Every structure is written in C-alpha cells, then in structure tokens.
C-alpha cells in the first residue's frame, strides 16, 4: 500500500487527503447535532440505528388459551421456552462456545492474501511538447503464518476458553433449574391461595348466617345487642380475611406469569390438586410403606390360608372387629381406620394380612 501511495501523482495524493478530511469532518459534524426540541431528549444516529435493527428481531410471544387448564408440566415447558433468562443464558453459552473455537483455531496456520493495483499517469516534456505516460502496477502478496513452539501459551488459552464454555453450559442448566423451581413454587402457591379462598368464602358464608340468625333472635327478643355486634364483628373479620386471600392469590398469579415470561394480566388457569391422579406404581409403593409401618407385609394372592388356633382367638378377633366397626359408624365417616390382625373370622384370614374398615 505504501508503494502504491508513493507511485501516485501529487494531484491524486492531495485529492485523496482532501476527500478523507471532508468525510471525516462530515462524520463528526453529523454526530454533534443539537437536539430537535427542548421537550425531548437528544438521540444520536447510532442509537436510532440500533433501534431500527432491534425492530427486525422477532421473539415468539406467549399465547395462552383463556379457556385451557394448564398442568404443571405444561407450565414448565412454556417457561423454559419463553422465559428471557433461558435465552440470555443460551446466548451466553453460545458465545463462550464460539470463543473456545476461536482459541482452538490458533493451532492452525493463518494465510493472508492481498492484491494491490494502481495506475499512475504523468506528462513528460519531450523536445517541443508534453507526452503522457501511463504506468500500471499490480502486486499480489501472500502471507503464511504458523506458530510451532509457544511454550504452552496456546494450550493455556484453549484450556481457559474450554473451562469458560463448560461453566457457561452449567450456568445454562442452572438457569433452567431456577426457572423450573420458580414455576413450581408459584404453581403450588397459587393452589394454596385458591384453597384458602374457598375456605375464606365458606367462613364468610357461615359468619353471615350466624349474623342473620343473631339479628332474627334479637328481633324476637331471644338475644342481646352484644351478641349481634359480636356476629357482625365476625362477619367483618371474615370479609377482611377473604380480601387478604384474594390479594395473595393475585400475587401468586403474578409470580407465575413472571416465571412464564409474560405479563401479569395474562389469564392462566392451573389444574387443581383434586384433579390430579396418583400413578399406580406410587399407590403400590404407598401401600408397601404403610404395611412396613404397621409391621405386616401383604402376602401373595396364592398364599395358604389358616384357621384360628383356638376358639378364643377367633372370638377375640370378632370382638375387636365389631368394636372397631361400631366406632367407625359413630365417627360418621370422619375417620378412616386400618386394622392389622394376625387372624380374622373363618377361613378368610391370611398370615400377616391387613383388614381395612
């Protein structure tokens, strides 16, 4: 490039310098313009260019059907797909992987090729007139660079970039775990507040019924004014508790929307706990755990059956079962009792069997 510059004529050199200064001056003056109006902040051309480029970036928005009930796995999948934290962690992991590739590229040779061309026109005075001379110049430069020994410098940079890429991948996984934890926490918090809302509404209904009964008794002369005031106070307390629960429910809904990466105004309907079903293998495991607590293990279906060793043993088992059945009837279904006996009536007993009433 220096050779080409030296071969140029003085006029071309002066013109190139003037053109460069004009472009540089125009660049500086265009970036130092005054604000357009006194009531708006000043924005440079670079900021407007970045804003224009940002408009071309399209991000898929979270769209939920208002009438759909979402389960916990569906909410976790939506959060992992639309939460901006996962995208930021993913872009950071990709950048670290690219940096690792750049560091690893130092093991390979580098080749640089450059082609330079120029034309120089000049007029020379010969005898009685000027003669124009046109001289063309073309040059090709090829540069090959390869480092053979660097005493471990490249290996150190490669190992550092590899460790940073691995750390970025672990940070990406940790971001997903945090998002999943936040979704689960917000989900169960929302279910908790929904259950508290049902309880608060039932409490308010009971308080209003008690207040109405107290007022009717007061009108009939069967109650005093303090009784009515106490009932009204209980109703007001129930209304306050209901509003507090509704506020907590809105907070839980906002936390869930934040974990999903959407606005808090998004309608999200979650699946309540009463609609969840326990898998069969979990139910079997629970039965085994209950049997281990009571000291009995369920026998196989083909296990041999035995009779009571004595009549007193059979009578004792019958009395125990009858008394427990009577207690179960008196409890009106409020308490469920599981009894473990060594033997029951007749031939329907098995060793270590369980009997549920």
Over residues 332-350, mean pLDDT: 35
Pull the structure tokens for residue 74: 């569906």
Pull the structure tokens for residue 80: 């992992």
Question: pLDDT tens digits, residue range 231-246?
Answer: 999 999 999 999 999 9
For residue 20, name the pLDDT band (cuts at 50, 70, 90). Answer: low
Would you say 357 and 337 are in contact if contact means Cβ atoms under 8 Å apart?
Answer: yes
For residue 170, pLDDT beyond 90: yes
Would you say 191 and 272 are in contact if contact means Cβ atoms under 8 Å apart?
Answer: yes
Predicted structure pTM score: 0.56
DSSP 20-71: HHHHHHHHHHHTTPPPS-TTS----HHHHHHHHHHHT---PPP---TTPEEP
In this prediction, residue 266 carries a pLDDT of 83
For residue 76, name the pLDDT band (cuts at 50, 70, 90). Answer: very high
In this prediction, residue 300 carries a pLDDT of 47
For residue 273, pLDDT beyond 90: no
For residue 5, pLDDT beyond 70: no
In this prediction, residue 162 carries a pLDDT of 92
CA angle, 124 then 122 then 20, to 5°? 150
Percent of the chain whose pLDDT exceeds 90: 32
List, in order, residues 6 or more apart from 270 with CB less than 8 Å away.
69, 70, 71, 72, 75, 187, 190, 191, 256
Over residues 104-116, mean pLDDT: 86
For residue 318, name the pLDDT band (cuts at 50, 70, 90). Answer: very low
């Amino acid at each position: 490039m220096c050779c080409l510059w030296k071969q140029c004529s003085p006029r071309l050199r002066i013109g190139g310098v003037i053109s460069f200064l004009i472009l540089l001056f125009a660049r500086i003056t265009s970036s130092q313009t005054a604000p357009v109006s006194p009531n708006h902040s000043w924005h440079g051309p670079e900021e407007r260019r970045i804003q224009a480029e940002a408009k071309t970036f399209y991000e898929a928005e979270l769209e939920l059907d208002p009438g759909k009930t979402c389960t916990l796995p569906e909410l976790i999948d939506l959060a992992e797909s639309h939460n901006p934290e996962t995208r930021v962690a993913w872009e950071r992991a990709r950048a670290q992987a690219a940096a690792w590739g750049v560091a690893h590229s130092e093991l390979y040779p580098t080749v640089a090729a450059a082609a330079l061309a120029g034309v120089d026109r000049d007029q020379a005075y010969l005898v009685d007139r000027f003669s124009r001379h046109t001289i063309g110049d073309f040059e090709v430069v090829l540069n090959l660079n390869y480092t053979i020994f660097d005493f471990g410098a490249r290996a150190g940079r490669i190992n550092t970039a590899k460790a940073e890429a691995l750390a970025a991948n672990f940070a990406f996984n940790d971001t997903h775990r945090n998002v999943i934890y936040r979704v689960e926490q917000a989900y169960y918090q929302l279910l908790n507040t929904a259950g508290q809302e049902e309880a608060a509404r039932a409490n308010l209904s009971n308080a209003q019924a008690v207040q109405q009964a107290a007022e009717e008794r007061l009108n009939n002369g069967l109650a005093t004014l303090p009784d009515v005031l106490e009932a009204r106070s209980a109703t007001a307390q129930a209304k306050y508790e209901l509003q507090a629960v509704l506020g907590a429910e809105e907070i839980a809904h906002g936390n869930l929307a934040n974990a999903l990466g959407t606005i808090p105004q998004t309608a999200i309907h979650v699946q309540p706990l009463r609609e969840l079903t326990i898998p069969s293998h979990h139910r079997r495991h629970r039965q085994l755990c209950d049997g281990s607590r009571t000291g009995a293990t369920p026998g196989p279906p083909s296990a041999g059956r035995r009779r009571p060793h004595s009549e007193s043993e059979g009578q004792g088992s019958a009395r125990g079962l009858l008394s427990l059945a009577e207690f179960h009837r008196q409890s009106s279904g409020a308490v469920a009792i599981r009894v473990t006996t060594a033997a029951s009536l007749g031939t329907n007993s098995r060793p270590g069997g369980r009997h549920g009433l």
